[in-house]
Every structure is written in structure tokens, then in C-alpha cells.
């Protein structure tokens, strides 16, 4: 097989500056080992460039979340430092109060860091979601232990109206569903029900969570899914619903808001596209 020297020199120049490979497509449809070599080089360099882009994206996402973590931890750390300074000379009952508050803040900080890191991994695309068949009732069995105390405090109960088989990542979907149910509990008056419904159509399977609060307007709904923008709980950080959205979108789905035709409240619908 005879190969033109100029072609080799040209390919050599392009390899020295591999940005030219994707700017100028070096592939051709000719037969022969040299053409196969050029095609393989193009495929390899293009793949490497895509990997570098993904790595940079992951770094950018993680850097943004680390900045958020640092910012959100400043206030509780400052509060704990003040309480620690006062602890030694405080009265015994005040010492007990300080210690309790410090433990409480440490728990909240741990929860915040864990959930922000989870969101960072999801948004950076580093988590591989599995798909398994599981009933909504089974998902709710895993949700209930995390919300049972809130339900008792608010004298509320959960009604599961229907049951169907979903195809989703059990662990992460339970996390998302728990956050949405907690939001419904916080928005509902005492002695009301949180209604869980589900079903499917030709496009997606869905799980809905209905509260019986005063309802939500579109502007508020948008803020609810932005980090640190919305929280009805004074001790909250406003990341529960944003995390839920990241989880569902990570599985190729979405979360929509619907307004009930009758009665008050809001319906959050988790959609899992087929």
C-alpha cells in the first residue's frame, strides 16, 4: 500500500494540535489501512474531548455546591462558637440548653452537607440510577417512618388511593417522595389527609401527592425548586424539593404542579417517562 508523504505530514501536524481534528473532520470513506487509521484517530480524540468536557462540568457543579455548603454553614458555626464560649460560665440549666442546641445544629449541618453533595452528584451526572419494578405502596412503606412523627404532631394521616407498579430507582425515589410528602404535611392544616395517588398512561407513570393547604401560585412554585429560595420551616434550608426534582430528572422524569378541580390545596405529580 502506498501512502502520500504529504498526507502523513498533514496528519502529523493535526495530531500535534488535536483541536484541529474536530474542527476539520479528517475522516474519509476511502478503503485502506490509512483511512481506517484516520477514522480511529478522529473517534479517539473526539471521545477524549467529550470526556474532558464532562469532567470539567462535574468539577464546575461540585465547586458551585461546595461554595453553597460553605456559605450555608457559616451561620450555624458562628452560633455554636458563641454557645461554646458561654458554656463554661453558664448556669447548669443553660449549659444543658446550649449542649442540646449544639447537637441539634450539628445534625442539621450533617443533613445539609449530605443532601447538597447528593444533589451535586446527581446534577454532575455521576450517579447511575437503576430501574426496578416496585409498587407505590412499597415505596410509601419506606417513606412513612421518616414522616410519622410529623403526621402525629399535625394529627394528619396519609391515604393511598390507588396502587400501581413503577419502574424507578427505589432508594432515590423514596428520598424524593419523602421530601414531597413532608412539604405536603407542612402545607396542610391539622386533622387533614395527605392523598397519594398513582397511575400510568401511554407516555409516563406517575405518583401524585395532594395536600389540603391554601394552594400555591406559579411564582411560589418556581421558587420552591430553587436551592435556598423557599422554606416554610424556620429551621429548614429550602433544599428538600430541589433535591426531589434533581432525583426525578436524573431518572428522565419531571415534577409538575396541578390545581385540584374541587377543593383546595395543591397536587405535586412525579412523572416517570417510559
Counted residue by residue, the chain has a size of: 274
pLDDT in tens, 88-97: 888 988 999 9
Same domain for 78 and 193, yes or no, is: no
pLDDT digits 0-9 by tens, 161-178 = 999 999 999 999 999 999
**In contact, 49 and 41? CB cutoff 8 Å:** no
Average pLDDT over residues 13-27: 62
Residue 20 confidence (pLDDT): 55
- CATH number, domain at 169? 3.30.565.10
Are 160 and 99 members of one domain? no
Together in a domain, 39 and 69: yes
Q: Among candidates 224, 203, 219, 204, which has minimal Cα distance to 268?
A: 224
35 & 53 share domain: yes
Q: Which residue has the cell 452537607?
A: 113
Q: Which helix or strand (DSSP H or E) is residue 220 part of?
A: helix 218-224
Residues 10 and 93 in one domain: yes
Q: Round to whole Å and give the CA distance between 163 and 200.
A: 11
Going by their DSSP bridges, the two strands 204-210 and 193-200 should be labelled as antiparallel
- Domain boundary pick from 127, 142, 157: 127
Domain shared by 160 and 223, yes or no: yes
Average pLDDT over residues 256-267: 80
Pair (90, 146) in one structural domain: no
Which of 15-19, 131-135, 141-145, 184-188 shows the lowest per-residue confidence on average (mean pLDDT)? Answer: 15-19
Q: Say whether both 109 and 157 belong to one domain.
A: no
Is residue 148 domain-shared with residue 202, that is, in the same domain?
A: yes
Q: Give how far Cα 100 sits from Cα of 80, 81, 110, 188, 271, Å.
A: 11, 14, 16, 29, 41
Residue 234's pLDDT is what? 44
Judgement on whether residues 76 and 164 belong to the same structural domain of the protein:
no
Domain assignment of residue 4, given as a range: 1-127
147 and 40 share a domain? no
Q: Which of the listed residues 85, 105, 127 is the one where a domain comes to its end?
A: 127
pLDDT at 82 exceeding the cut of 80? yes
Backbone angles phi, psi at 26, to 5 degrees: -90, -5
Q: Which of 107, 127, 147 corresponds to the end of one domain? A: 127
What is the count of structural domains for the chain?
2
Q: What is the mean pLDDT of the chain?
A: 81
Asked if residue 41 and residue 152 are part of one domain, the reply reads no
Give the confidence band of 134 by pLDDT, cuts at 50, 70, 90: very high
Show Cβ contacts of residue 154 under 8 Å, excluding neighbours closer than 6 positions: 185, 188, 190
Phi, psi for residue 16 in degrees, rounded to 5: -70, -35
Distance from C-alpha of 48 to C-alpha of 46, rounded to nearest angstrom: 5
Whether 151 contacts 157, CB under 8 Å:
yes
Amino acid at each position: 500500500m502506498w501512502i502520500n508523504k504529504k498526507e502523513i505530514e498533514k496528519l502529523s501536524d493535526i495530531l500535534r494540535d488535536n483541536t484541529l481534528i474536530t474542527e476539520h473532520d479528517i475522516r474519509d470513506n476511502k478503503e485502506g489501512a490509512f483511512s481506517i487509521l484516520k477514522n480511529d484517530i478522529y473517534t479517539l480524540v473526539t471521545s477524549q474531548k467529550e470526556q474532558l468536557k464532562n469532567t470539567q462540568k462535574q468539577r464546575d457543579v461540585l465547586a458551585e455546591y461546595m461554595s453553597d455548603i460553605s456559605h450555608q454553614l457559616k451561620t450555624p458555626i458562628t452560633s455554636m462558637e458563641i454557645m461554646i464560649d458561654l458554656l463554661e460560665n453558664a448556669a447548669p440549666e443553660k449549659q444543658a440548653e446550649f449542649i442540646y442546641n449544639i447537637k441539634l445544629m450539628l445534625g442539621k449541618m450533617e443533613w445539609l452537607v449530605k443532601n447538597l453533595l447528593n444533589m451535586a452528584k446527581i446534577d454532575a451526572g455521576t450517579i447511575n440510577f437503576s430501574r426496578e419494578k416496585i409498587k407505590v405502596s412499597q415505596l410509601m412503606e419506606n417513606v412513612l417512618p421518616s414522616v410519622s412523627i410529623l403526621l402525629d404532631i399535625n394529627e394528619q394521616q396519609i391515604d393511598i388511593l390507588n396502587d400501581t407498579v413503577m419502574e424507578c430507582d427505589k432508594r432515590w425515589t423514596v428520598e424524593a417522595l419523602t421530601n414531597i410528602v413532608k412539604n405536603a404535611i407542612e402545607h396542610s392544616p391539622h386533622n387533614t389527609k395527605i392523598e397519594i395517588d398513582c397511575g400510568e398512561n401511554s407516555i409516563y407513570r406517575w405518583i401524585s401527592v395532594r395536600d389540603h393547604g391554601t394552594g400555591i401560585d406559579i411564582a411560589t412554585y418556581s421558587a420552591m425548586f430553587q436551592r435556598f429560595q423557599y422554606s416554610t420551616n424556620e429551621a429548614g434550608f429550602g433544599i428538600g424539593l430541589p433535591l426531589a426534582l434533581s432525583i426525578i430528572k436524573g431518572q428522565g422524569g419531571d415534577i409538575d404542579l396541578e390545581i385540584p378541580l374541587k377543593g383546595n390545596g395543591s397536587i405535586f405529580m412525579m412523572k416517570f417517562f417510559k
